[in-house]
Amino acid sequence: MDAVDVSEHYEVTTAEETPSLLSIILDTNPRAWAALDNRLPLSKAIANILVFVNAHLAFSNVNQVAIIAAHVNRAVWLYPAPPQRAAFKDASGDVDMDDAPPTGPPPTSANKYPQFAQIESTVLSSVQSLMNETTQDDLAETTTQLSGALTLALCHINKASQALSSTTASLADSAQPNSTAPPPLKGRILVVSVSDSAPSQYIPTMNAVFAAAHAQVAIDTLALAGEPTFLQQACFNTDGAFLAASNPQGLLTYLMFGLVADTEARKSLITPTHDKVDFRAACFCHGKVVDTGFVCSICLSIFCELPENAECLTCGTRLAVGNYGSKPAVVPRKKKKKKRVVNGSGREVTGSATGTPRP
């Protein structure tokens, strides 16, 4: 029995949790929130979203979160806050370092987890700064910069994934040969929308959606108001969840019960689904959402009407429209042989001169 030794036959595997990065895009269109103010003010919506963020971070210590505001004229980071640039030298030659940390200690509370308190203070200050910087000229613009926010979220997920891959590779080199590397980062994007999809945002939004589908990043959408047509297509193409809130006051309920699970946990759950998806596209010539149109076979550009000289406005390819506009060919129908009623019964006429005798 001493010759039998199985102590070296155990396979060593890692039991580390897979980090989950949740990127939340908050639609901060002032006009849309003004129309929704009597049912759900923006301040209350942010408070509910912060509770949802705390629940996501409480699932695991390795979970991460990022919050981006899709404003009318730009996309702004709410958390983590971007570092401020240093000011230029003044007449005296002194440089005011605006990006230096504050001298006093950060605000803390004995009844709140420090990370939760930091996220809350950063998000509230960033939103307040964004609203203070919004001018009357900005309010004249009604288009929400959703594509820019999606691009920022995808870049942040890619950067975090690359940082995790480099750390994992260094740990795998120093680990035992039989150990397995931890799985990659689970990234997903949650869009809280309150406005309609702008036709001018169709092309950049679809480019971001295709990039997310290629990177296996799911895009979830919670529509509190409006008709986000393009976001329905984004959720369908990336295997995400789309929820249209019939009662915006139940924002936290929709978030906690329908969108709290990550992409890995959804494999064991019944996720909310949407039966109808609006697959309409916006034309490249006028930016109108169309049901039918002309599509270039080379660059796949869509036009609501035939361009001048039948040339694509994007790549210049001449469109082969065939016999478009001509009347369809009418094929004459074959005349059927009429039946004649003989002795009260309908039958075909035969060559017999006399009818069938009856008893």
> For 267-285, what is each residue's pLDDT tens digit?
888 877 776 777 788 787 8
* pLDDT tens-place string over residues 183-218: 578 899 999 999 988 888 888 899 999 999 999 999
Contact 222, 58 (CB under 8 A): no
CA–centroid distance for 357 within its chain: 82
Structure tokens at 161: 């994934």
Asked if the model's pLDDT at residue 168 lies above 60, the reply is: yes
Question: CATH 3.40.50.410: which residues of the chain?
Answer: 20-84+111-170+182-278
Phi, psi of 294 (to 5 degrees): -100, 135
- How many residues in the chain? 359
The residue ranges of DSSP E strands in 63-185, in sequence order, are 64-70, 75-79
Please give the pLDDT value at position 54.
95
Evaluate if residue 7 carries a pLDDT over 70: no
Beta pairing partners, 24: 67, 190
The CATH number of 20-84+111-170+182-278 is 3.40.50.410
Average pLDDT of the residues of the chain: 80
Q: pLDDT (tens digit, 9 = 90+) per residue, 214-262?
A: 999 999 999 999 888 889 999 999 999 999 998 999 999 999 999 999 8
Token pair recorded at residue 32: 């849309």
**pTM of the predicted model as reported, rounded to 2 decimal places:** 0.74
For the chain, how big is the Rg over CA atoms in Å?
A: 32
Could you tell me the pLDDT band of residue 97, with boundaries at 50, 70 and 90? very low
Instruction: Of 180, 181, 189, give the one whose Cα is nearest residue 158.
Output: 189
Place 163 in a pLDDT band, splitting at 50, 70 and 90: confident
What 3-state class would DSSP assign to 355?
coil
Average pLDDT over residues 145-149: 93
SS3 category, 353: coil
Per-residue pLDDT, 280: 80
Give the 3-state secondary structure of residue 338.
Answer: coil
On the question of a cis peptide bond just before residue 199, with omega within 30 degrees of 0, the verdict is no
Q: Say if residues 213 and 238 touch (Cβ distance below 8 Å).
A: yes
Encode pLDDT of 314-355 as tens digits. Answer: 788 887 777 766 666 677 777 777 666 656 555 555 555 555
Which pLDDT score is estimated for 169? 62
Q: Sort 124 into a burial class: Cβ within 10 Å, 0-12 / 13-18 / 19+.
A: middle
Mean pLDDT (whole number) for 11-19: 64
**Letter string b/e over residues 167-200, b meaning 16 or more CB atoms within 10 A of that residue's CB:** ebeeeeeeeeeeeeebeebbbbbbbbbbbbbbbe
Q: Please give the pLDDT value at position 121.
A: 93
